[in-house]
Amino acid sequence: MKKTLLSLIVVLYSFFALAPVYAETIFQCTTQNNKVIKVIDADKIIQYSFGKSLKTPEIALSIPRNKVTTYQWAGIGRDENYSIQIPNGKIIYDVFHSFDRSTRKNSAGINVMQDDEELATVSCDMHKPIINKLEGIKLRSEF
């Protein structure tokens, strides 16, 4: 009985020791083509996934937190922009959310960049729910 209880305690301890302190969805949206963009802050890593099914995404990345950068609006200008830049080799996935203070319109999505060139932009469907917790995220500044 004592050995079983001790074994159970060891197994549970090792599970919790390896699990991230927390995992929070910091961005999620559905595109106009019904694909999902999702970013999770899992303590020491940032997870990015994209695809019709998040169980089998087209792209799934786990990047060390210290490699991911952010841009935070400085309080000046018409557009409130917040983004995070997720590197994958020479490709950068720039997940963004922007609010135009004049027109009162939001935009969100992902810019796919390589060598400061935009390869593609995938926009979120602004008529579907969006999770946006990019503002104030504690990451290294892009600049």
pLDDT one-digit tens code per residue, 105-131: 999 999 999 999 999 999 999 999 999
Tens digit of pLDDT for each residue in 55-95? 899 999 999 999 999 999 998 888 999 999 999 999 999 99
Tens digit of pLDDT for each residue in 2-42? 554 444 343 334 344 444 567 999 999 999 999 999 999 99
pLDDT of residue 8: 37
pLDDT of residue 12: 38
pLDDT of residue 14: 39
pLDDT of residue 62: 97
| β-strand pairing of 69-72 with 140-141 | parallel
pLDDT of residue 39: 97
pLDDT of residue 77: 86
pTM of structure: 0.81
